[in-house]
Amino acid sequence: MSVSRKFSALLLAGSVSLAALAGAAFAAPLTYTDMIKMDRINGFKLDPTGRYAVLNIRVTDMEKNKGIQSIWLKDLSKPEAPEIKLAVSDGGASNAQFGPDGTIYFISGRGEGGTDQVWKTDITGATATQVTRLPLDVQAYQITPDGKGVVVGLAVFPECKGDEVNCTVKRQADRKADKSSGMVYDKIFVRHWDTWADGTRNHLFYVPLAGGVPIALTDGYDGDVPSKPFGDEADYTISPDSKTVVFSAREAGKSEPWSTNFDIYTVPIDGSAAPVNRTASNKAWDGSPRVSPDGKTIAYVAMKRPGFEADRFGIMLMDEQGKTRELAPDWDRSVGGIQWSKDGKSLLVDADDVGKHIVFRVDAKTGKVTPLTRTGHTNVYAETPRGMVFLKDDLTHPSALYQAKAKSAFIDEGATNLTKFNASAGALTTGAYEQFVFKGWNNEDVHGYVIKPAGYVEGKSYPVAFLIHGGPQGSFGDGWSYRWNPETYSGAGYAVVMIDFHGSTGYGQAFTDAISQHWGDRPLEDLQKGWAFALDKYKFLDGDRACALGASYGGFMVNWIAGNWKQPWKCLVSHDGVFDARNMGYSTEELWFEEWEQGAVVYDDPAKYDTFNPALHAKDWSKPMLVIHSDKDYRIPVEQGIGAFTALQRQGVESAFLRFPDENHWVLKPANSVKWHDTVFNWLDTHIGAKSTQGAK
């Protein structure tokens, strides 16, 4: 989420060295408008033979101001042949996957009534046939291994136990007919991420493909599966014999906003028994269940500390008797994705690793961990008879589909690029990058990245964008992004410095833990020492023309810097940042996060929230600041941004406030993304002088 890119030619050629890029002729730089218009590969699935891959592609339609989903087919036996857009995409198609007989299934709202349903097509993709005819939108789906049915997620009212679907339809009709808009709540989450609670829960149903009524699998369960707001079919799986569904969910009750206690459940697919909690003894997070090919073992990931969302996800194995053991307990990485190998002898997993996101093979008996990739960001991968196929991106490349070279030590070493998306963008230049390491807080190693401006000229100095990542348990590393993409700053003539301060992921759990209750001291020390190190090592960085920018936790840090380390900066950009920590403790939706990070419930110990509270230092703000916030951001509510802007304006500090009434914690609509980038780069150009070549094309 290693190749350097001279966009079109190098994207198609595979990997090249930085030295090769340095010797190449300089072409037009990548701009943010180029980035916004790129086609995005959201994932892929293989057919049972491993010959075909169906790809889910998002194309940006600037005229309609939205992303358009489509499905494409790639014949893996013909690496040089182009991928083909399936005609069924024209009616709207997303989340494509293969059934066991090679049928392609997908989600579309093209049918009568306009609800999202499961459809199918053959390998030609010429015509579509409707599979499910439910009165509610299908949130997620999985075809059973025997091909006889589909397990879907639907949003229903859990109190409609016994007839969740029909009762939900009636309740929705009654609500629509009610002229009052008032909603009464008796518990929080009253809102989550960007949506106000409507009383429904995502529940699982088995739908026979031969026809028949949907069978409720989580009837009356007070919880969501798939989970909200980002859950999908990865939250559940179906046993190889198609008799059991295994899923991860959190029972809500009254404690949902401050609980991270997800558990692994099993339920018969025929609905003959209620779900059984298989991990009730672990009060922390259990997720991503995967059943072994022989059906005897459930692999899943688990945390150990309740209430902490960024604890290490270890690999757990559960046998048929329910006995569990941790696999590779001494491996100090937190697992993201997890799947069984085809032979069932190992697990394929991915994890952040020293500024990269790497795929590993973990032996299911011994726990031996073997890295399969070396560089960049890879989190979608699958085995085929011809070798591993995977999606990979890095700092200078968007995601592309690759096939591993036979007998290569690493699957990304000499891999073949199988897709040609974005090739028409032409030859665009990105800035060369380098990872560095220095001694930060507690004299421990801290890593960072420096990126040269596109078209860098030796001996020149360049203004600097100092980017601070969010999370805070995250990483700005060797991966591509469509929101905070450092190469767009490089293309605008800026050098970029990014520091993976204490709290970042991929450097061991103790490193990640170090930020909790220390938001403003240990990471700040890392940022200060990293900035000094970069200025000393990279002479092309102009320390007198630098701006610090960040979002979420990065926005908090910009607000904190404004009163505690403002000296180096000519300007600041704070996007969705925490301004008043006490108010944040009362108004954010996921309370477990604030209560863990601050070490207390806000009303029990408000002084803890004041330890690193930017609002208490606002009187010392003096640097020009651009504040950005969105109305539908319920993670860090818009009042935080308004508060920061008020503090700036009241003191006469040069400032501006960019508000998006229709965005959440992220800026996703194409036109809004253009506006965001226009505003940010104009702010940088005004204050530190690199006149960008950006703008609509």
Which residues, 6 or more positions from 417, have their beta carbon under 8 angstroms from its beta carbon?
A: 11, 12, 13, 14, 400, 401, 402
Contact 306, 261 (CB under 8 A): yes
Contact call for residues 496 and 450 (beta carbons, < 8 A)? yes
Place of tokens 């009464």: 184
Rounded CA gap, 415 and 282, in Å?
41
Cβ–Cβ < 8 Å for 133, 113: no
Distance CA(602)–CA(591), nearest Å, equals 10
Tell me, yes or no, if 552 is annotated catalytic: yes
Contact 155, 202 (CB under 8 A): yes
Give ∠ CA 124-130-135 in degrees, rounded to 5: 155
Per the annotation, the verdict on 629 as an active-site residue is no
DSSP state of 83: P
Comparing CA positions, the residue from 356, 325, 324, 352 lying closest to residue 336 is 352
Q: Are residues 572 and 563 in contact, defined by beta-carbon separation less than 8 angstroms?
A: no
Amino acid at 257: P
**Which CB contacts under 8 angstroms, 24+ apart, belong to 77-85?**
77/51, 77/386, 79/403, 79/416, 79/418, 82/420, 83/55, 83/418, 83/419, 83/420, 83/421, 84/125, 85/57
Nearest to 676 by CA among 516, 514, 549, 508: 549
User: How many alpha carbons lie under 13 Å from residue 393 in its C-beta half-sphere?
Assistant: 19
Around 528, how many Cα atoms within 13 Å sit in the side-chain half-sphere?
Answer: 13
Place of tokens 């993976």: 500
Among 447, 665, 677, 687, the one annotated catalytic: 665
Stated as kind and residue range, the H or E segment containing 287 is strand 286-291
What's the rounded Cα separation, in Å, for the pair 8 and 37? 15
Render 557-570 in DSSP notation, one character per residue.
Answer: HHHHHHHHS-TT-S
Strands 369-371, 356-363: pairing kind: antiparallel
The structure tokens listed for 652 are: 């006469």
Set 399, 475, 552, 673: catalytic member:
552
Instruction: Considering the candidates 94, 194, 633, 655, report the single residue annotated as catalytic.
Output: 633
Query: What is the three-class DSSP state of 619?
Result: helix
* Cβ 109 vs Cβ 119: under 8 Å: no
| Cα separation, 373 vs 529, whole angstroms | 31
Residue bearing tokens 């053959």: 122
Answer for the pair 664, 672: CB distance below 8 angstroms, yes or no.
no
CA distance 241 to 246: 12
DSSP 8-state secondary structure symbol assigned to residue 583: H
- Give the C-alpha separation, 10 to 22, whole Å: 13
Say whether 259 is catalytic: no
Answer yes or no: are the C-beta atoms of 233 and 142 closer than 8 Å: yes
CA dist 663 → 195, 577, 671 (Å): 11, 15, 11
- Output the CA angle 620-624-626, nearest 5 degrees: 115
Residues 187 and 169 sit within 8 Å (Cβ to Cβ) = no
Residue with tokens 């380390």: 565
Quick check: helix, strand or coil at residue 119?
strand
DSSP 25-56: PP-EEP-HHHHHTS-EEEEEEE-TTSSEEEEE
Secondary structure (DSSP) of 343-376: TSSEEEEEEEETTEEEEEEEETTT--EEE---SS
Which run of H or of E encompasses 531? helix 522-537
* Enzyme catalytic residues: 552, 633, 665
